[in-house]
Amino acid sequence: MMEWYWALSGLLGVLFVLMLVGVPVAFAFLGVNILGAWFFMGGEAGLGQLVRNSIQSVSSFSLTPIPLFILMGEVLFHTGVAYRAISAVESLINKVPGRLSIVSVVGGTVFATLSGSTIANTAMMGGTLLPDMLKRGYQPSIAMGPIMAVGGIAMLIPPSALAVMLGSLGGISISQLLIGGIVPGLLLALLFVGYVVVRCKLDPSLAPIDESGPTLSGWQKWKPFVRDVLPLFAIFVAVVGSMLMGWASPTESAAIGAVASALATVFYGAFTWKTFYKALMETARISVIILFVLIASTTFSQLLSFSGATTGLLNLISQYELSPIWLVVGMLAIVLLLGCVIDQVSMMMITLPFFMPLAHAAGIDPVWLGVMLLLAMEIGLLTPPFGLLCMVMQSVAPSHIRLTQIYGSVMPFIILELLVLGLLLFLPWLAIGLPRMMM
């Protein structure tokens, strides 16, 4: 029998080589799984077990919220209802420093409560607001930074497909994990708004000081918000409230949200079969990718366990007798480092097979750890050189915007997110308070 450290080195080594040569993540894991099943699980018998494990990994009813949460955002995005909500937020906010940057944070947070897609959030806000902000004389640093930072909030605030995926892979209560991300997500949004206001107050050259916004008052000012935002916020309340009150499971609340989103587009007169078909096709495409990744990840975890790599690593770490808090700090540090070079799904697949057994052995609250891991992965969306949302921003920004400007604009927001991560580490109730109330 091969020593566990050689098994671990071999499996991870082949995996990273395949990733470096450009093999898609899911296929890289699938290739490693096939090789590992052949060598560690007994040739053809191991391959047969691999197939059975793959089928079992996606047969869980708990995965149903993933396509339903994705459908919510896709329907609102493709029908244009989400754009109306952003315009309504813009008409409401005026006479404050950096008004459009604040609109991007508030509007992005609103869209985050309706869509679990960080990429869609950043692409929509960047394509809608960025050209107008630059045209009005906003400096790129204060125009792009808030848009990218608020895009990542969609990973924390329900509905979040990645939170469902993390809960499924890590054996964490999905409903508690979704609820646990609400307070940190809203705290981030408040800090982002505060930073924009203070920064633009101290340096008016970042944003036009004569900007007054729409000259509306009274009911005319509030009418777009009441008409285009409050009904959509009711969808979020229905989804989250049904879980908080214990009336619905995550799957049932996701179904409520998907139906409510479709009905909202009918209510606004934006529903067409063409856009609905487009939303369904995009939902199917994204869902298939996620489920394929889940297959690869679950079987990879089983392979690590079967080869003895997981047990060997756990025994090695247990020799150092680290306290739970230092274990968590180490896990977060690993995720933050990985976020600089690989995507969030890959991070889950590589780390969770090791992290969750360690967490259970040390008595670490899985919901608290799960929320912090989500936030650390969100930070990875912004950190160079990989920074997925930085790449999305580059694709929607004008050609004269350099990648170095994009990286520079997001750095202050990374610091704010690290601050919130530190608060979660020392004030766990920020993550587990609402879930405990739900229980």
Query: What is the structure's pLDDT at 62?
Result: 67
* Distance from C-alpha of 325 to C-alpha of 345, rounded to nearest angstrom: 25
Structural domain span for residue 214? 4-438
Query: What is the structure's pLDDT at 206?
Result: 86
For the chain, the C-alpha Rg in angstroms (whole number) is: 22
User: What's the number of domains the chain is made of?
Assistant: 1
Query: What is the structure's pLDDT at 372?
Result: 96
Query: What is the structure's pLDDT at 231?
Result: 84
Q: What b/e readout covers 299-331, taking b as 16+ CB neighbours within 10 angstroms? A: bbbbbbebbbbbebbeeebeeeeeeeeebbeeb
Q: Which of 22, 16, 78 minimizes the C-alpha distance to 283?
A: 78
DSSP 239-304: HHHHHHTTSS-HHHHHHHHHHHHHHHHHHTT---HHHHHHHHHHHHHHHHHHHHHHHHHHHHHHHH
Low-confidence ranges of the chain (pLDDT < 70): 1-2, 25-26, 57-58, 60-62, 116, 209-218, 293-294, 297-298, 301, 310, 313-314, 318, 341-343, 385-386, 439
Query: What is the structure's pLDDT at 432?
Result: 93
Q: What is the pTM of this model?
A: 0.78
Query: What is the structure's pLDDT at 314?
Result: 66
- Centre a 10 Å sphere on the Cβ of residue 410 and count the other Cβ atoms it contains: 27
Cis peptide before 385 (omega within 30 of 0): yes
CA distance between the termini of the chain: 46
Counting Cβ atoms within 10 Å, is residue 278 exposed (0-12), middle (13-18) or buried (19+)?
A: middle
Query: What is the structure's pLDDT at 177?
Result: 92
